[in-house]
Structure 1
């Protein structure tokens, strides 16, 4: 007879409005990669997504969070640069705070074997 395997409570968290997801692990990772690389295009490549898909995610966050989460500066001697705005940094912190609360909840509420 097969041995009974214990159940485990798990899940993912994202923040959304009635218009759909605004912040989740993928969108926050995108912002963090932009912050590290200074480039939306580079962040999209690192995440194996198209530039259009990345830009659409950024555009949606901008609309739902009440302002830009990144600012792109074009061209120049060394090329362009993209920075994560204060609004974007707040979104990252908010998501990680919510995610920690969620993981603490999961840890504290695992089913008894």
Structure 2
């Protein structure tokens, strides 16, 4: 009998375009731990420009910024999540956790197929 897996992907749309999903969640997690958009993008194997554009999009399309950015200087720039960004990320991660549980339960139903 074939092995069946149920996968659920979750993202948030604003004005009918993707706003937040697993990739942006991972980027925010890495910014939070590494304190830098540059370091976070390197860890993800993503271009710095793409990461910067994602952060800019989050900051401009939401009612409050997700990330506080400090440009360059002698030690380079830095980035940190705002309280709003941390809360949003935590809620998204909780939603994903619940969806994984639902998917696992669904696999039990699929096993009967």
Under a length normalisation based on structure 1, what TM-score does the superposition of the two structures give?
0.84
Where does structure 1 lack aligned partners over 5 or more consecutive residues? none
Q: 1:53 aligns with which of 31, 50, 70?
A: 50
Write the distance in 2 (CA, Å) between the matches of 1:80 and 1:20. 30
Q: Give the match's secondary structure for 1:109.
A: helix
Q: 1:68 aligns with which of 57, 65, 68?
A: 65
Where does structure 2 lack aligned partners over 5 or more consecutive residues? none
Write the distance in 2 (CA, Å) between the matches of 1:75 and 1:50. 18
* 1:25 aligned residue: 22
Write the distance in 2 (CA, Å) between the matches of 1:46 and 1:8. 29
Write the distance in 2 (CA, Å) between the matches of 1:75 and 1:29. 23
- Give the structure with higher Rg (CA): 1
More helix by share: 2
* 1:5 aligned residue: 2
Q: 1:99 aligns with which of 82, 96, 100?
A: 96
Deviation at 1:77, TM superposition (A): 5.4
Report if aligned partners of 1:34, 1:43 keep a CA contact under 8 Å in 2.
Answer: yes
Report if aligned partners of 1:23, 1:91 keep a CA contact under 8 Å in 2.
Answer: no
Q: How many residues align?
A: 110
* 2:82 aligned residue: 85
Write the distance in 2 (CA, Å) between the matches of 1:64 and 1:75. 24
